Chains A and B, each alone.
Chain A
């Protein structure tokens, strides 16, 4: 099976987010970048599928500038066979999805695995866009995936429950835990990641429907009202008259 895994290059989940140059640019100083956590589930699942079937090939793709290559190399170390970088800032969800679907059209894949959502843009939408552009079906977010013959059996998380879904390839899937265990790169993996192919391709043009004016960070809370545990009546009072959540 030929699998494409789309990964993001995002700040580590503990990062403090700040902006510089008059709030026009993300401040990457001191920030450690990682493979998007949900994307890492997608990659881990792809490796499980390939290793179980004993055949197949995994390509990882990122739409990003040259800074993301370390993240792509990490995906190669974890076990992907090839990496592709579409050389551009991921300007919008539509832009990114257009690049991914174009790559899929030019290289035949059976399955496209992505994360449930990116933790920078949180769109949760690139998979659906890609599927629509390819005229494929998309299922997101899935917590379990089994391949039986030519059928894919999936467990999808729905509002307050789970849905079992069956479908045929080709498909675009958004992954989340516990779909697969994260893999720790082996010494051999790390060595071979330097020689595995990492191809850089040019983006195709997309008309952008918006203009970024500025970035902002949230206003800090104005201070926490501390209530003595022996005086919870005061808390009830605040919940009633200030937060107005009791009726």
Chain B
């Protein structure tokens, strides 16, 4: 009996979130004296390396194809391997799969898990984020099968040099989607906001879209993604998908930098999973400073270029 982790890939490698999910499962497996098996959604060059993060086994599909019935494949795997816990890392693809599998298997589904699992006896205790990060709910899992979707940055992986044992499987034939895709347009060259380790955001204090080079230059130096506040995207200074907050993207970087953003509660709701927050604002009373770890009271038009120059030479 083991814990199953279903992970995504990107450019022939594991997505970073895959390591988070496997590390979470390994922590739970240790507490429950179980093992971890990973199922890879896609193709990766060296699937065995997931063993470094604590997965004993890794399943890869020899006939990888998104159009195959993945839900059926995983559902069969759950019953054949007598799985009681399935772990996903939060993303649109994973959440959709998790939801569909939970209906098929009549199991319990918990999303937005934001802290390491605990046990009371042999019962798993989880913590979920609610009210857009303004609250948490702690619950015990009583279902025979639990599907857990976890957020980023929950724990530091315990790395080893172990390799996972690879097993090749065949995806099931079954239902295919009736939706027809007419094409995807990507905002080119962007680092994904939701995956970024560092995010640099600008607000109305930036005065206009013509000043965004200040944000972009700093982001480039730091290898960061760029974000903005809602009024900024409402005024079309920046694209809608960059807007961070309660009604926009929720980010969870190691560092969130906010320049010229006041820190309205709706904006904070999108950034409260960040590990460190740096606020640059000319108003010492700006509410954002209360939620920040580092603050600079100053004119962003002076601070941003200076900071960028220092970082470049650092």
Please name all residues of chain B whose beta carbon is closer than 8 Å to the beta carbon of A122 when the two chains form the complex.
Answer: 111-112, 129-132
Q: A119-B246, A229-B302 are in contact. Are A166 and B103 (CB under 8 A)?
A: no
Q: Please, how many angstroms separate the alpha-carbon atoms of A37 and B311 in the complex?
A: 40
A245 and B255 form a contact (CB under 8 A):
yes
Please name all residues of chain B whose beta carbon is closer than 8 Å to the beta carbon of A232 when the two chains form the complex.
Answer: 296, 303, 306-307, 310
B140 and A120 form a contact (CB under 8 A):
no
A94 and B108 form a contact (CB under 8 A):
yes
B135 and A128 form a contact (CB under 8 A):
no
Q: Please, how many angstroms separate the alpha-carbon atoms of A46 and B290 in the complex?
A: 40
Q: Please, how many angstroms separate the alpha-carbon atoms of A243 and B266 in the complex?
A: 25
- Partner-contacting stretch, out of B38-46, B52-60, B184-192, B201-209: B184-192
Q: Please, how many angstroms separate the alpha-carbon atoms of A209 and B141 in the complex?
A: 6
Please name all residues of chain B whose beta carbon is closer than 8 Å to the beta carbon of A128 when the two chains form the complex.
Answer: 95-96, 99-100
CB proximity of B241 to chain A, nearest CB, Å: 6
Q: A209-B143, A233-B310 are in contact. Are A120 and B130 (CB under 8 A)?
A: yes
A218 and B134 form a contact (CB under 8 A):
yes
Please name all residues of chain A whose beta carbon is closer than 8 Å to the beta carbon of B102 when the two chains form the complex.
Answer: 94, 129
Question: Is B289 located at the chain interface by the 8 A CB criterion?
Answer: yes
- Secondary structure of the B contact surface, majority rule: mixed
Question: Is B133 located at the chain interface by the 8 A CB criterion?
Answer: yes
- Partner-contacting stretch, out of B19-27, B29-37, B157-165, B274-282: B274-282
Number of A-B residue pairs having CB atoms within 8 Å of each other in the complex: 226
Question: Is A213 located at the chain interface by the 8 A CB criterion?
Answer: yes
Q: A123-B111, A210-B139, A213-B138 are in contact. Are A226 and B298 (CB under 8 A)?
A: no
Q: Please, how many angstroms separate the alpha-carbon atoms of A122 and B183 in the complex?
A: 28
CB proximity of B201 to chain A, nearest CB, Å: 15
Question: Is B9 located at the chain interface by the 8 A CB criterion?
Answer: no
Q: A229-B302, A246-B311 are in contact. Are A161 and B184 (CB under 8 A)?
A: yes
A225 and B293 form a contact (CB under 8 A):
yes
Q: Please, how many angstroms separate the alpha-carbon atoms of A37 and B248 in the complex?
A: 11
Q: Please, how many angstroms separate the alpha-carbon atoms of A149 and B254 in the complex?
A: 48
Give the contacting residue for A245; candidates B110, B254, B272; CB below 8 A: B254
Question: Is B49 located at the chain interface by the 8 A CB criterion?
Answer: no
B247 and A160 form a contact (CB under 8 A):
no
Q: Which residues of B120-146 are within 8 A (CB) of A?
A: 125, 127, 129-143, 146
Please name all residues of chain A whose beta carbon is closer than 8 Å to the beta carbon of B180 when the two chains form the complex.
Answer: 165-167
A243 and B275 form a contact (CB under 8 A):
yes
A125 and B111 form a contact (CB under 8 A):
yes
Question: Is A148 located at the chain interface by the 8 A CB criterion?
Answer: no
Q: Which residues of A153-206 are within 8 A (CB) of B?
A: 153, 157-168, 176-178
Question: Is A34 located at the chain interface by the 8 A CB criterion?
Answer: no
Q: A161-B187, A211-B140 are in contact. Are A245 and B198 (CB under 8 A)?
A: yes
A221 and B246 form a contact (CB under 8 A):
no
Please name all residues of chain B whose beta carbon is closer than 8 Å to the beta carbon of A245 when the two chains form the complex.
Answer: 197-198, 222, 254-255, 276
Give the contacting residue for B294; candidates A13, A159, A160, A238; CB below 8 A: A238
Please name all residues of chain B whose beta carbon is closer than 8 Å to the beta carbon of A14 when the two chains form the complex.
Answer: 265-266
CB proximity of A7 to chain B, nearest CB, Å: 16
Give the contacting residue for A137; candidates B110, B179, B193, B303; CB below 8 A: B179
Give the contacting residue for B185; candidates A161, A228, A240; CB below 8 A: A161
Binding site for B on A (CB under 8 A): 11, 13-14, 16-17, 19, 37-38, 92-94, 97, 119-125, 128-129, 132-133, 137-140, 143, 153, 157-168, 176-178, 208-218, 221, 224-229, 232-233, 235-236, 238-240, 242-246
Enumerate 18 A-B pairs (CB-CB under 8 Å) in ascending A order.
A14-B265, A16-B265, A17-B131, A38-B247, A128-B99, A160-B193, A163-B183, A216-B127, A216-B135, A217-B134, A218-B272, A224-B295, A225-B294, A227-B294, A235-B294, A236-B311, A243-B293, A246-B311
- What are the 6 closest A-B residue pairs judged by CB atoms, nearest first? A209-B108, A209-B143, A229-B298, A164-B182, A128-B99, A161-B186
In the complex, given contacts A11-B131, A129-B103, what are 9 additional A-B residue pairs having Cβ atoms less than 8 angstroms apart?
A97-B103, A159-B92, A160-B192, A162-B184, A177-B240, A212-B139, A221-B291, A227-B295, A229-B296
